[in-house]
Amino acid sequence: MRRGSQDSPDERTAPRPQGADRRGSRRCVPVPVTTACAPGRAYPGTVARSNDEVAALFAEYADLISITGGDAFKARAYEKAARAIGGHHAEVSGLDAKGLQEIPGVGRSVAEKVVEYFRDGSVSAVEELRARIPAGVRRLTAVPGLGPKKAHALYEELGIASVDELADAIHAERLRDLKGFGPRTEERILHGIDLLRSAGDRVLIDVAMDTAETIVGALSGVTGCRRCAYAGSLRRVRETIGDLDVLVAAEDSAPVMRAFTELPYVTEVIAHGPTKTSVRTGEGLAVDLRVVRPESWGAALQYFTGSKAHNIRTRELAVRQGLKLSEYGLFDAESGELVVSRTEEDVYARLGLPWIPPTLREDRGEIEAGLRGDLPVLVTEDDIRGDLHTHTDLTDGLAPLEEMVAAAAERGYAYYAVTDHGPDMAMQRMTDERMLAQRERVRALDGRYGRGRGMRLLHGAELNIAPDGEVDWPAAFLAGFDLCVASVHSHFEQDREALTRRIVRACENPYVHVIGHPTTRVIGRRPAVDADLDAVFAACARTGTALEINAHPDRLDLRDEDILRARRHGVKFAVDSDAHAVPHLANLRYGIGTAQRGWLTADDVINTWPLTRLRRFLRKRPGR
């Protein structure tokens, strides 16, 4: 960079720590019932794994409290503690009870449970509640659209204790006599069950990336390893990953294969051979390692990156030129003589193509664009000048304003926006006075950072788009902000016409500059709202409202397919972290990958622009 989600507590889906799932493991999407990794186990090269374990455990505990009809305040306290620990910058496994209580949101009872977890490998209070509830009931809460209270009601009233039993009951219309259940609820739950089943054992991209970078780092140091990289869907920056593909170039594969199987986080060797070895990690992630000779590196990297559809197109090009393309190289089809194989650039060039970025390799027109010389120069993380959607502990963030600003300055940003929630998110306890007091602090910090470090601060807000399309404050108050992000946080069940009208009306508000996480989806937990996105995209283009690409790995909203459609309407975009803690700022990389998959250039993304151009965009809105 020029060095440049958490859900809010009001949302129907309760907030989860970054990377953590609903049931005690951060690995799966949507989330199976599993136990956490070994207590206190830290994986080399990854960040605060013990924090994720504890955060997932407390998120589960909060759900268990809700399922059993426990105190709502207590459940909320453990939700807050889960988020605080999951977003804490340092490992919690080495802290005592006193040190733990210095983390905002962690009180004495929570701290004692953290100490108990690392001492005993479990927490007795959690185990007691687990024993009271069949695992199938806990599994029900992983169904998008079905919260703890509804899961408890289904078990108590109808004895439903598994996802299959739930699906059967819906088809038999047995839920309709229960309070709070009706045809539309059944429809949403069935859709959630489909999401749950289709996701299988896929993991979020940040989980896969942590593992892949750790493995690549470890294998790169093995004697004889000439090159090492991850490939497959992770290199293409897909939002969820089924398994990992790692590629190594070496003359002798034996030392690399041996080191791979002996990695401390490998729990099972599925297959072992001289060219391919498959393992499973402690997080349940399957990893395939392939070793090729150095002279075949380029062809192998191109082949194992995929996608399958892209590879079919490149092989067709090869055939039309009398060539044969495989993971070993590009060969003359008649003589079998090797033509090129050492680099990807060589392979593509011999086929008459420029090097195609991995994020475009989905057979969405990249071959044709390459042959015409029309491939876009994709936006990169180095192009980003600032982050336009972040939070502090004034609302649901975990770090104070000063810490978030300092972390942004370390990233080398030219500008940085603070956008805490408005008063319509009632649980955030926002008032006009609190927001204005924060503005004064932001202005004071802007003077310090603007002069000393070259980073200007923008004071903004994340507004809530109400069911009728209104936002938190009247125009006179909104006029005082540098920018406003507006997002849907509730009433996701509105019909298509109402949701479309709601978002379009927000776009038409002259003080709304960006629509945040536009479809509201949470991957594996909540589907996108049913709105006419083309109507929304047209409204954004007409009013000069940017659409956010929310970089939090749980969201990645807009999706790449939506970005492609919106771009055709002439929409501009903002790639934002929606950071609720300092570590979340680094999630921007996943938003950039998603933007690339949507074929965006730097000019399409408003937070790559110089501050003067950005201010003009924020000040002058077409059609006003």
What pLDDT score was predicted for residue 585?
96
How large is the average pLDDT for residues 458-483? 96
Q: Give me the pLDDT at residue 473, please.
A: 94
pLDDT digits (tens, 9 = 90+) for 288-316: 999 999 999 999 999 999 999 999 999 99
Structure-block tokens of residue 507: 């776009």
Same domain, 436 and 585: yes
Q: Is there a domain that residue 19 lies in? A: no
The answer on pLDDT for 25 being more than 70 is no
- Give this prediction's pTM: 0.79
Check whether residue 130 and residue 271 sit in a common domain.
no
Residues near 220 by beta carbon (within 8 Å), at least 6 away in sequence: 228
Do 328 and 414 lie in a common domain?
A: no
Which range, of 24-33, 168-177, 327-336, 598-607, averages the lowest pLDDT? 24-33
- Report which of 49, 109, 106 is spatially closest to residue 82, judged by C-alpha positions: 106
| Alpha-carbon distances, residue 43 vs 83, 91, 202, 244 (angstroms) | 21, 12, 20, 17
Residues 500 and 517 occupy one common structural domain: yes
pLDDT at 38 over 60: no
Q: Is the pLDDT of residue 63 over 70?
A: yes
Q: What is the per-residue pLDDT for 620?
A: 58
Distance CA(343)–CA(462), nearest Å, equals 46
Q: Does the pLDDT value for residue 624 go beyond 60?
A: no
Q: What is the mean pLDDT of residues 107-131?
A: 88
Is the pLDDT at 504 greater than 50? The verdict is yes
Residue 74 lies in a domain: yes
**Domain-terminating residue out of 346, 372, 398:** 372
Looking at 181, 199, 217, the residue that finishes a domain is 199
Three-point CA angle 58, 62, 65, nearest 5°: 135
Domain harbouring 160, CATH code: 1.10.150.110
Per-residue confidence (pLDDT) for residue 285, from 0 to 100? 86
Q: How many residues appear in the chain?
A: 624
Tell me: pLDDT of 201 over 50: yes
Question: Which pLDDT does position 613 carry in this prediction?
Answer: 96
430 compared with 382, residue with greater pLDDT? 382
Do the domain assignments include residue 184?
Answer: yes
Q: Please indicate, yes or no, whether residues 398 and 520 belong to a single structural domain of this protein.
A: yes
CATH number, domain with residue 273: 3.30.460.10
- Residue 423 forms part of a structural domain: yes
The set of long-range contacts for 115-119, using a CB threshold of 8 Å and a minimum separation of 24, is 117/39, 117/53, 117/54, 117/57, 118/39, 118/40, 118/50, 118/93
Above 50 in pLDDT, residue 6? no
Domain end call among 321, 351, 372: 372
CATH number at residue 597: 3.20.20.140
Residue 428 has pLDDT above 80, yes or no: no
Please report whether residue 4 resides in a domain: no
Query: Could you list the residue range(s) of the whole structural domain that residue 417 is in?
Result: 381-619
Same domain for 485 and 558, yes or no, is yes
Task: Give the pairing type, strands 338-340 and 323-326.
Answer: unpaired
> Are 352 and 248 in the same domain?
yes
d(CA 128, CA 114): 16
Whole-number pLDDT of residue 19? 36
449 Ramachandran zone, left/alpha/beta (phi>0; psi -120 to 50): alpha
502 vs 51: which has the higher pLDDT = 502
Of 42-51, 103-112, 333-342, 462-471, the least confident = 42-51
CB neighbour list of residue 99: distance below 8 Å, 6 or more residues apart: none
Which ranges constitute the DSSP H helices of 221-307? 232-235, 254-261, 297-305
Question: Are 468 and 594 found together in one domain?
Answer: yes
Q: How far is CA 462 from CA 103, 515, 569, in A?
A: 25, 9, 25
Alpha-carbon torsion 342, 343, 348, 353, what sign? Answer: negative
pLDDT band at 187 (very low <50, low <70, confident <90, very high): confident
- The reported pLDDT for the residue numbered 23 is 29
* 7 in a structural domain: no
403 within domain boundaries: yes
Same domain, 294 and 432: no
Q: What pLDDT does 427 receive?
A: 66
DSSP per-residue codes, 105-153: T--HHHHHHHHHHHHHSS-HHHHHHHHHS-HHHHHHTTSTT--HHHHHH
Per the domain annotation, does 417 fall within a domain? yes
> For residue 249, what pLDDT is reported?
97
Mean model confidence pLDDT for the chain? 86
Percent of the chain with pLDDT over 70: 89
The mean per-residue pLDDT over the stretch 579-608 comes to 96
Do 267 and 187 fall into the same domain?
Answer: no
Residue 17 scores a pLDDT above 60: no
Same domain, 468 and 615: yes
- Mean pLDDT for the stretch of residues 150-171: 82
Percent of the chain with pLDDT over 90: 60
Q: Are residues 344 and 436 in the same domain?
A: no
- Tell me what pLDDT residue 192 has: 76
Tally of domains in the chain: 3
